[in-house]
Amino acid sequence: MHILSEPDVAKIFRSLTQSQCHEFIGELGKALVAISAESNPTFPVADKLIHQPLRTVFATKADNTCIFMPVSNTETTGIKCVTVAPGGIQGVINLFSPDGRLQGLLAAAEITAFRTALASMALFVRSHGIRKENILVFGSGRQAEWHARLALLLYPEEIRQVVFINRGRARLDEMEQDVFCDLRARYPAITISSIAKEDTPHYDETLLRELQVCDVIFSCTPSLQPNFSFSALQSVPKQRFISMIGSYKPPMHEVDTETLLSGGGKIYVDSKSACLEESGELITAGVRAGQLTEMGDLLDSLGPEEGINIPAGSNVIYKCVGMGLMDLVVGKKVLDIGAGQKLGTHVDGF
């Protein structure tokens, strides 16, 4: 049994090459194709390899929320255990062999952020018709960080600037030390900057200017109100890539209905059922399953490097709420890399 701590996982991710990143995208893509195929009502139940029961959630008397997310693709079985406590979030991913032997324990926070950003990249790399020069990232957590890191790793020659937008300044100051300085050193020709709503005079005008020039928006916030308006985007019309991965409850809205529906009749999602149940944007807009395209179905219809069809004048819209299968696939690959690089701790007897 192998154990990888948060620093171990971060070291693996931060040392990835562009080609290794594409390998991760490919592995995730295969899993998404498989789960979409097995979700089809005509798929024989006896042939199912993927099992993803509903998560179990309860709150303790100590005001800790405990979440258990089991999943299996038959080759590997796993369960992510997360505790949301007043002092923060802690989690671990447990991976088991088909016969039930514990193969590994991995710290969950970095993997969760990475796999969600990786899911966005699976569509981003297929959006060939979208310029990628100016990127806006809403949020200041690990999800926001990894969306920027992966985009820069994949398109270092195309991106010119990345701007992080956040309500407060404190977290951006933390990112200045442990994220922005690192990104500037890796990509000296690319401008990395941040804007905080709380200390920016005329914030609305500043945000408008950034929205007008941006080509890509990665929204990574559990916001109750849209982070920007569709009218602001339309003040300078252009085709944009817009992903929303931060909102995961019906009251949450990262974008308004007009932005959500600006994909020319296309909204890409990781899971139709999960997004229709959990995404506030989709619920408010009255979106139905027939209006959604699962990434698994999309990738299954495309050649290995084929781009998506983007209707003229339309944006590329992606909504992701996350699935346990993503943790399983990415976690297993990270575990194998960590063991191969002799990172972490190996424990015999399991």
**Could you give the CA distance from residue 53 to residue 48 in angstroms, rounded to a whole number?**
13
Q: Specify whether the backbone of 202 is left (phi greater than 0), alpha (psi in -120 to 50) or beta.
A: left
Residue 310 · residue 280 · CB < 8 Å: no
What pLDDT digit, counting tens, does each position of 26-66 carry?
A: 999 999 999 999 999 999 999 999 999 988 999 999 999 99
Q: Structure pTM?
A: 0.95
Residues of the chain with pLDDT under 50: none
Tokens for 336, please give them.
Answer: 């194998």
Residue 186 · residue 154 · CB < 8 Å: no
What pLDDT digit, counting tens, does each position of 246-255 carry?
A: 998 899 999 9
| Extended strands (E) in the chain | 2-4, 56-59, 65-72, 77-85, 88-96, 102-107, 134-138, 161-166, 191-196, 216-219, 241-244, 267-269, 292-294, 316-319, 345-346
Q: What is the DSSP letter of 3?
A: E
CATH 3.30.1780.10 fits 2-112+325-346, yes or no: yes
Residue ranges of the chain assigned to CATH 3.40.50.720:
114-323
**Could you give the CA distance from residue 80 to residue 56 in angstroms, rounded to a whole number?**
11
Closest by CA position to 151, among listed 139, 165, 129, 134: 134
3-state secondary structure of 62: coil
Q: What is the pLDDT of residue 248?
A: 86
Closest by CA position to 350, among listed 75, 106, 101: 101
Residue ranges of the chain assigned to CATH 3.30.1780.10:
2-112+325-346
Q: What is the pLDDT of residue 350?
A: 64
- According to CATH, the topology of domain 114-323 is Rossmann fold (3.40.50)
**Could you give the CA distance from residue 51 to residue 34 in angstroms, rounded to a whole number?**
11
Residue 222 · residue 247 · CB < 8 Å: yes
CB atoms within 10 A of CB 157: 7
